[in-house]
Amino acid sequence: MSGRTHIFRIIINAAVFIILEVAALVMLTHNGEMQNIWISKGIHNVQSFLWGGAENIWSYFTLRRQNDELARENFRLTNALRRYGPEALRGTDSDSDSAVIGGYRYVMADAVKVSNNKQHNYLILNKGYEDGIEELSGVVTNSGVIGIIDAIGRHYSYARSFKNSGMVVSARIGKEGPVGEIMWDGMSSNGAVLREIPHHIVLHQGDTVYTSGFSAIFPPDIPLGTTGEATVVNGSTYNIKVTLFEDFSSIRYVTIVSNIDKEEIQELENADED
């Protein structure tokens, strides 16, 4: 019984304390203007803290949706820029993840996994054959070439990264300059080498390197990076260091690009080899 009496007294004391505190606050708000201001300010600070915290939590959980919307808008704007070039727009839908422009089909995709710390890096993308993706399609962003599709599943694709020893892309200095082959330097995160540039060409460090379009995979004029130091090879060509625009460590949204006439081009190339 003594235990219950002790608990009962604690409850009574706590109730009396709360009642007295509430009464004191009421007296302060009615009897002192300064105290009223302090109490109101305290209440507002607490409200601001709670509302701000709730807003931060809401912003965190809606960030993914906002990023997706921004990526879609960027995809539409990029296609609009392509549309005003010499290519003819053959079909697009502003609410779609795909567009067909100037002989190429563009499909927006998310990189759900990116490998960056190996010699044979890769990406997993959230688009597969049900989305119209084909093998040997290119993977690009507004800042460069990301890779090439090597395998396709129903809803996902496996792409060989540009940061992969052995992957070579046709590129040119400027939009009308000499054409060579660009590949990852195999060491740095944003370094590449442009090879087979003729020795007689006058070079300037800081020139922009673009895709040449001399392949059945990548469209022309995708900016890749800027030129740096050049080295003469065998007295006849240059190897030029290139600083890539793309930050491979932060890749999230990409575009899968397919040459609509790829099969016809490959048939002609195979016929020439025969």
pLDDT tier, 91 (very low <50, low <70, confident <90, very high otherwise): very low
Check residue 62 and give its pLDDT.
52
* Region label for 144, one of left (φ > 0), alpha (ψ between -120 and 50) or beta (otherwise): left
Say which residues have a Cβ less than 8 Å from residue 170's Cβ, sequence separation at least 6. Answer: 179, 180, 181, 182, 211, 212, 213, 214, 215, 218
**Which pair of tokens denotes residue 251?**
């890749």
pLDDT, average across residues 139-154:
93
Check residue 192 and give its pLDDT.
97
pLDDT, average across residues 31-50:
49
pLDDT tier, 151 (very low <50, low <70, confident <90, very high otherwise): very high
pLDDT, average across residues 209-224:
92
pLDDT, average across residues 135-150:
93
pLDDT tier, 185 (very low <50, low <70, confident <90, very high otherwise): very high
CB atoms within 10 A of CB 139: 26
- Please state whether the predicted TM-score (pTM) of the whole model is above 0.75: no
Q: Are 209 and 151 in contact (CB under 8 A)?
A: no
Report the share of the chain in percent with pLDDT over 90. Answer: 43
pLDDT over threshold 70, residue 40: no
Of these ranges, 6-20, 39-53, 70-84, the one predicted with the greatest mean pLDDT is 6-20
Q: What is the fold of 85-273?
A: Thrombin, subunit H (2.40.10)
Length of the chain: 274
DSSP 46-65: HHHHHHHHHHHHHHHHHHHH
pLDDT over threshold 80, residue 187: yes
CB atoms within 10 A of CB 36: 13
Bridging pattern class, strands 104-114 and 98-101: antiparallel
CB atoms within 10 A of CB 123: 25
* Region label for 166, one of left (φ > 0), alpha (ψ between -120 and 50) or beta (otherwise): left
pLDDT, average across residues 151-164:
94
pLDDT over threshold 60, residue 253: yes
52-70 in b/e form (b: 16+ CB < 10 A) is eeeeeeeeeeeeeeeeeee
pLDDT tier, 137 (very low <50, low <70, confident <90, very high otherwise): very high
pLDDT over threshold 50, residue 55: no
pLDDT, average across residues 12-23:
69
